Amino acid sequence: MNGKSRPAGHALVEALIAQGIDTVFGVPGESYLAVLDGFHEHRERIRFIACRHEGGAAFMAEAQGKLSNWPGVCFVTRGPGASNAAIGLHTAFQDSTPMVLFVGQVAADQRDREAFQELDYRQVFGPGTLGMAKWVGEVQQADRLSEYVARAFHTAMQGRPGPVVLVLPEDMLTTPTASAVLPRARLAQPWPAPGALRDLRAMLLDARRPFVIAGGSGWTPESVRALQRFAEAWELPVGCGFRFQDTFDNRHALYAGDVGIGINPKLAARLRDADLILALGVRLGEMTTGGYSHLAVPRPAQRLVHLHAGAEELGRVYSADLLINCALSAAGPALAALEPPASGPSWGDWAAAAHADYEANHVAPAVEPLDMAVVIKTIQRLAPEDTVYTNGAGNYSAWLHRYTRYYGLQHHGRTQLAPTSGAMGYGVPAAVAAALLYPQRTAINIAGDGDFLMTGQELATARAHGARRLISVVVDNGSYGTIRMHQEREYPGRVSGSELANPDFAALARAYGWNGCRVDATEQFEPAFKDALAADAPSLIHIKLATDVITPRTTISAIRAAARKG
């Protein structure tokens, strides 16, 4: 106890400030008025960004977690608010993003009656390895609030990072407490066992075609710098895991491409041909392993070293030859300490060929009248180096993933906000969060027409809170194109449920106080984008793309023709 009594709702805000949080995202509810009052009390030190939908708020907090490498924080009300927020929790779980979701709860004397908006959060949100949260806690006593908040931050960060849910009964929040807040969470950093590093060195010396897949959540700039030194010393080709493309510098001569959806077929072949895979920080999920095909499951043909921050991830799916439990902040320095052989490894040609394949994949065939490869390359040519790129789910993201050269996170921290969970609607709120949290940086969202309208209401949040360097590029093909593509493969010509009738997105943006314009041909894009970069307000560029232009590699008509033949 520190002697100063205040409502627990205020103590909660003080506890967040102690954890280093200066911005939270949420939608208010009558269930946590005492906390909202705490935000008012401490408004000089922490801000509550009121969003337009809890899905948007939860995505923003998830993006905050990715960008800051520290838990993002979201507040939502009981049942309906919590239900809306579920998509952000699921994304944080699949993406291993640290996040704390605070949820209102009915007062203790109303519990278990299915009182108004009552929900059993422990049942709904997990925990479990296939759940939505690492831990669901309920603060029953005001005096124990700081204990719970501290545990929430530790749990979200340690091991494999992820989301935590803290449930706040209404009567607890108004109860006075004199308990002191706890200091900012200090994290335990597991380092690899010395024997493991010796074994890794021996395996590297034995290998003829080694390959590194780097990614996952928790890398720090220093650690990635050291990872690069390790790769250079051993001449190792490096690929980045699905939607962790910003881990290793894509401009580096050892970079081999992204190991995700729409993978360069030559890279997929190279992975299968490798004799040693170092999986560093990635959990080797379905998208990074090409549906568990580049690495056969559970026992890959290649020798496998799996390094991960969460001990529970190791050996969970793959039977690896060497398991290393190591925080990603420690992984780079640990690997950089491995002494390369005196005569130098002899994989230079293998690594150079991997990089040449990546470069060749960057060359795009011309497409008329709207060339998405040119659009993406123009964006990166003109945007500042530390721009944060965001997207949700949809085929449009294939161009972004293929043609953007992400800088390694040693340069500007994370620059890619993209859901490995494949959640549509992620990109707009993620970009809004980036623009509000880092106003000196530019945030650029690329969205599909389907994707955009799932969370487009957050344009209002951006405007309300003064976002400026924020651009959304909506790729409108009049279709839930990804689903259309799958339909044409499985049921050629039988289009069902995947067509969209769209609003005028530019006009919609203007209604929200954004700039808005439309682009129908490639040459119109550059001037429109320059205007958006120079503008003092957020801008939306509405791009019209033919439905047929479905991926950087093929068209709907080609898929349909092939499916009819086959």
Interface positions with ligand TPP (CB under 6 A):
393-396, 422-425, 448-451, 477, 479-483
DSSP string covering 184-241 = PP--------HHHHHHHHHHHHH-SSEEEEE--S---HHHHHHHHHHHHHHT--EEEE
472, 431 contact by CB (below 8 A): yes
Considering the complex, state which of residue 137 and residue 422 has its C-beta at the smaller distance from ligand TPP: 422
Task: Characterize the bridge pairing of strands 255-259 and 276-280.
Answer: unpaired
Shortest Cβ 475–ligand TPP spacing (Å): 6
Shortest Cβ 459–ligand TPP spacing (Å): 16
Shortest Cβ 481–ligand TPP spacing (Å): 2
DSSP string covering 95-156 = HT--EEEEEEE--GGGTTS--TT---HHHHH--STTSS-SEEEE---GGGHHHHHHHHHHHH
Instruction: Please enumerate in sequence order all residues whose Cβ is within 8 A of that of 358, keeping only pairs 6 or more positions apart, or say none.
Output: 255, 256, 257, 264, 267
Considering the complex, state which of residue 335 and residue 424 has its C-beta at the smaller distance from ligand TPP: 424
Considering the complex, state which of residue 213 and residue 446 has its C-beta at the smaller distance from ligand TPP: 446
Considering the complex, state which of residue 91 and residue 302 has its C-beta at the smaller distance from ligand TPP: 91
Structure tokens at 374: 């040119």
Shortest Cβ 310–ligand TPP spacing (Å): 25
The whole-angstrom distance between residue 424's C-alpha and the CA centroid of its chain comes to: 12
Considering the complex, state which of residue 104 and residue 552 has its C-beta at the smaller distance from ligand TPP: 552
Considering the complex, state which of residue 149 and residue 393 has its C-beta at the smaller distance from ligand TPP: 393
- CA–CA distances in Å: residue 14 to residues 24, 179, 245: 13, 11, 36
Shortest Cβ 448–ligand TPP spacing (Å): 2
Shortest Cβ 562–ligand TPP spacing (Å): 19
Question: How far apart, in whole angstroms, are the C-alpha atoms of residue 63 and residue 44?
Answer: 23
- Residue nearest ligand TPP (C-beta atom): 448
Considering the complex, state which of residue 238 and residue 519 has its C-beta at the smaller distance from ligand TPP: 519
Strand partners, 518: 542
Q: Give first-to-last CA distance, the chain, whole Å.
A: 73
Question: How far apart, in whole angstroms, are the C-alpha atoms of residue 212 and residue 320?
Answer: 14
Considering the complex, state which of residue 79 and residue 394 has its C-beta at the smaller distance from ligand TPP: 394
Shortest Cβ 486–ligand TPP spacing (Å): 9
Question: How far apart, in whole angstroms, are the C-alpha atoms of residue 390 and residue 431?
Answer: 6
Shortest Cβ 292–ligand TPP spacing (Å): 20
